[in-house]
Structure 1
Amino acid sequence: MLDGFVPWPTGFADRYRRAGYWRGLSLRELFADSAARRPDKTAAVDAHHRVTYAELAQEADRIASGLLALGVRGRDRVVVHLPNRISFLSTVIALAGIGAIPVLALPGHRRDEILHLARASEAVAYIGPDRFQGFDFRALARDVRRDAPGLRHVVIDGQAEEFTPLSELARSGVRELPPVDSSEVALLLLSGGTTGVPKLIPRTHDDYAYNIAACARVVEFDDSGVYLAANPVPHNAALGCPGALGAVLLGGKAVLAANPSPDHVFPLIRDEGVTLTTLVPALALLWAEAARATPIDMSGMIMQVGSSKFGPAAAERVSGSLGCRIANVYGIGEGLITHTRLDDPPEVVFGTEGRPVCPDDEIRIVDADEKDVAVGVTGELLTRGPYTIRGYFAAPEHNRRSFTEDGFYRSGDLARLTEDGNVVIEGRLKDIIHHLGEKVSAEEVEGHVLTYPGVRDTAVVGVPDGDLDERVVVFAVLGDDADGEAAPVTLRSVREHMRARGLASYKMPDEVVVVPDLPRTPVGKIDKNALRASRRERQTV
């Protein structure tokens, strides 16, 4: 096994294999079978190209052979820093084919993040674009290679200058690929925390293949499906839930959007026949707003919405405006996914995050002493199962804090279970505001603010107000109301709106700050530390 990887105990691993969750096939083997069954079918589409399964398989095999010629071997880590394009898929499949491990960086990452990933993973290679959205990734690669001595190779998709062109690898002669053990690490995802540098999440071929299959099952995605990757495809949701990688492993079509703006994605949805996509709530609301000016028929599409709380009012607004079916999702790169089902009633779809996708997902809701609480009581969500990791990569100190002695992952998320087994996410343990002697969930307040006409996105933070108390500060991004005019948003009007919704007085905001957009961390989470830091420079209303 890879040094730094924490495997499942033997008894659990045997149980998951007997249950059929782990099939003993590598991701490359699964793709090869999919490609052999439908060589002439379109496998993937991006802003500039479309490829058949046969073409994608050939490109992946050639890149794999080229990487072997460079000296990249099984268990070697390779930082993959590619945006939403076909070369991302062919590169990941190629690495899977030789047993090397992609470290999936996001397009928004820059020198500090990439240097951390290269050092933390002990990467031997970096694969990135020449330029993307005005940024020169070759200059970044020069800096990282200088400061990460173990980084022996730089491969560039495009004008490579002094580096190795990815196109050169894609013209390599095909050689026999080595066997790959499905229990080995297939890829390293990044943790989604908003503080500190990302931790590395090791996902094996076995567990990630099941992750894909289980998610596909609940949305009925098969070889007739068309998945739109609107968010960055290195994100777990856009990659494997079932995501773009799942689409080509299952025989469907992956559509890789260069950006998630309605102007770009609406034509793709129409022209490519998209049946499934995954969005964060802010983007779902943006699409709903845009659809008023640019009507689009999404009645044949399922929209998975996750990453942050997607409350009933927002879900109903998006569903009504776009006509698509909504699936509410809670998912973590570390593993567990809960998902509403297509036949769930509206109150479940709009009011919960659904049920686990696997029968052997174990969930505990616990209090501060890690004692199980009753159904309906809020506590921290702990989980373990056949696709939930047993430890971060090479991070023993983090693992001691993040996992119980019997292998449950401490999610840091506040949740409760309903009588019928659905999960309701209530917020983050670290996102509780101490206000007027009470504890206020920032996420709960955010859900109410999003129901205010004219608010498209919001974040709520606590800021110090004396030694023990905090002020509740709402940051609001405005959209258009139903009449096309900007809705007035003031502290008084927001408080009156929330009071009318029956919210307790101690949960009322103390300030409302209107901002053009919300800052985000490199992994796409709202950066609440940046909001707190900027508060003094903002005008409150």
Structure 2
Amino acid sequence: YIELDRLSTNLASRLAEKGLGKGDTALVQLPNVAEFYIVFFALLKAGVVMLNALYSHRQYELNAFIKQIQPKLLIGSRQHEVFSNNQFIDSLHEVNLSPEIILMFNHQATDFGLLDWIETPVETFVDFSSTPADEVAFFQLSGGSTGTPKLIPRTHNDYDYSVRASAEICGLNSNTRLLCALPAPHNFMLSSPGALGVLHAGGCVVMAPNPEPLNCFSIIQRHQVNMASLVPSAVIMWLEKAAQYKDQIQSLKLLQVGGASFPESLARQVPEVLNCKLQQVFGMAEGLVNYTRLDDSDEQIFTTQGRPISSDDEIKIVDEQYREVPEGEVGMLATRGPYTFCGYYQSPEHNSQVFDEDNYYYSGDLVQRTHDGNLRVVGRIKDQI
């Protein structure tokens, strides 16, 4: 932790020395490496509002992000196809959208190297006075299935609350060893409770490039990982291989599953095949996060996606005429609460379609509420744009 603080301060100081600070923006695209978190905390310290692109994003998405936030700083990896040569960067120069500073992971000799900036201390003292807690800390990306993801402004206050409350619900402590095999910037992997929750609790985050089971099982054994977070498609792969490699995953105690609908038939296999507890997670980068609790009954855990983090989370389930439906009936999910956002960045037309006059956000999910207050996700209204 001292090293994480030192290295992130090095980078933040170097950026401040170059004139970056509060109100500036950054576009970051890194694979699942420790440097992702060093950069994340460095930019928070410097007050630079970042957008963390997924490593799967290509030139089309990166172009759209750059046009929206016009970053002064770009951090990428030379191993990514977009940055394997200078064609994309040169194209930004041509339209006057080139960031002032470009840092490269796995850099070439002519680049500013990200690792050099991280590892080299700055002699001059830089005062990192706190950014007001209600200001935007960074942009998350919407989970829409078509078009370019929309930008979700997350404040220090709302995100920190979500992380702290999630860490408590999930029972994290200094002994927690979390496998990060999903994309590190994804909201699930970052804050539900994700790496930030584990770091808040004083635990350990173990990185994997992807959820491929054989590599992950080896990492679990080597680092005695006791918690993992996966999407259903990855769980299926793990279930198929677990019997052959059960000795490698003996340390695993908790598997979180979220990000997509998880059939009950698969949910029931998790404790039996992987020999660990299952926790279902239904969350959104826009805010609302639901968990099955660790002491919920098996039936609740296998058949629902949990209930909200906070007693102050407000949920309505409504029909097509926006009338609330009786308990147990399927309807559209609408929510507002202490850590749910107030609108997409620079998207007034879309915001008018997904918020009502009482500031409830309509996520596009079709859900039903059980008698115990848990939510069951049954589908989507349509593909979200």
User: Same fold by TM (over 0.5)?
Assistant: yes
TM-fit CA distance, 1:378: 0.6
The alignment partner of 2:149 has SS state of coil
Letter in 2 for 1:265: C
TM-superposed deviation, 1:284:
0.7
| Per-residue deviation, residues 374-420 of structure 1 (Å, max 9, x unmatched) | 10111100001111001111211111111112111111000010111
Residue pair 1:130, 1:138 contacting (<8 A) in 2 also: no
2:2 is paired with a residue of what secondary structure?
Answer: helix
> What is the letter of the counterpart of residue 176 of structure 1?
V
The unaligned stretches of length 5 or more in structure 2 are none
Q: 1:250 to 1:139 in 2, by over 3 A?
A: farther
> Are residue 177 (structure 1) and residue 127 (structure 2) matched?
yes
2:206 maps to 1:255? yes
- Cα distance, 1:162 vs structure 2: 3.6
Q: Report the counterpart of residue 76 of structure 2 in structure 1.
A: 128
CA contact (8 A) 1:366 1:379 kept: yes
The size of the alignment, in residue pairs, is 381
Q: CA deviation at 1:178?
A: 2.8
For the residues of structure 2 that align with 1:369 and 1:61, how far apart are their CA atoms?
A: 52
TM-score by length of 2: 0.94
Q: Of the candidates 16, 24, 28, which is equivalent to residue 80 of structure 1? A: 28
What secondary structure sits across from 2:328 in the alignment? coil
- Over residues 169-219 of structure 1, what are the superposed CA-to-partner deviations in whole Å (9 max), with x where a residue is unaligned? 221415323312111111101001011111001111111111111111111
Q: Considering only aligned residues, what root-mean-square deviation do their CA atoms show, in Å?
A: 2.0
Residue in structure 1 matched with residue 54 of structure 2 by the alignment:
106
CA contact (8 A) 1:111 1:143 kept: no
Is 1:371 paired with 2:320? no
The reply to whether residue 269 of structure 1 matches residue 220 of structure 2 is: yes
2:362 equivalent in structure 1: 410
Instruction: Tell me how far apart the structure 2 counterparts of residues 269 and 381 of structure 1 sit (CA, whole Å).
Output: 37
Once the two structures are TM-superposed, the CA of residue 82 in structure 1 deviates from its matched residue by 0.6
Which stretch shows the higher mean deviation, 291-300 or 408-417? Answer: 291-300
Identify the match of residue 222 of structure 1 among 173, 177, 180.
Answer: 173
The 1-side partners of 2:277 and 2:326 are apart by 32
Q: Provide the C-alpha distance between the structure 2 equivalents of 1:167 and 1:75, rounded to a whole number of angstroms.
A: 24
Q: Structure 2: which amino acid aligns with 1:200?
A: L
Equivalent residue letter for 2:216: V
In the other structure, the counterpart of 2:346 is 394
Q: Which amino acid aligns with 2:258?
A: G
Q: Distance in 2 between matches of 1:388 and 1:348?
A: 25
What residue identity is the alignment partner of 2:208? A
> How many Å apart are 1:227 and its aligned residue?
1.4
| CA distance in 2 between partners of 1:369 and 1:161 (Å) | 61
1:23-71 per-position Cα deviation (integer Å, ceiling 9, x unaligned): xxxxxxxxxxxxxxxxxxxxxxxxxxxxxx1111111000001111222
| Residue 341, structure 1, aligned to residue 293, structure 2 | yes
Q: 1:79, 1:125 within 8 Å by CA — same for their partners in 2?
A: yes
Distance 1:234 1:89, change over 3 A: same
Amino acid at match of 1:232: P
In structure 2, distance between residues paired with 1:298 and 1:369: 51
* Deviation sequence 1:131-153 (CA, Å, 0-9, x none): 14897275544444544625222
Give the distance between the partners of 1:224 and 1:388, measured in 2 at CA: 30
Whichever residue aligns with residue 306 of structure 2, its letter is G
Residue 57 of structure 2 aligns with an amino acid whose one-letter code is H
| d(CA) in 2 for partners of 1:84, 1:426 | 31
Q: Secondary structure at the match of 2:188?
A: helix
CA separation in 1, counterparts of 2:137 and 2:82? 31
Aligned match of 1:209 in 160, 165, 168? Answer: 160
Is the 2:107–2:114 Cα contact (8 Å) retained in structure 1? no
| TM-aligned CA distance change 1:397 to 1:298, over 3 Å | farther
Whole-Å separation in 2 of the counterparts to 1:291 and 1:110 = 33
Distance in 1 (CA, whole Å) between partners of 2:94 and 2:374 is 50
**What residue number does 2:312 align with?**
360
Stretches (4+) displaced over 3 A: 132-135, 137-148, 160-163, 296-300
Counterparts of 1:127 and 1:382 in 2: how far apart (Å)?
Answer: 36
State the alpha-carbon separation in 1 of the partners of residues 328 and 359 from structure 2. Answer: 24
Matches of 2:74 and 2:346 in 1, distance apart?
A: 20
In structure 2, the residue corresponding to 1:294 is in which secondary structure? helix
Q: Which residue of 1 aligns with 2:277?
A: 325
Larger Rg: 1
Shift of 1:124: 1.6
Gaps of 5+ in 1: 1-52, 432-524, 530-541
Q: Judging changes above 3 Å, is the alpha-carbon distance between structure 1 residues 354 and 298 closer, same or farther for their aligned structure 2 residues? A: farther
1:188 matched to which residue of 2?
139
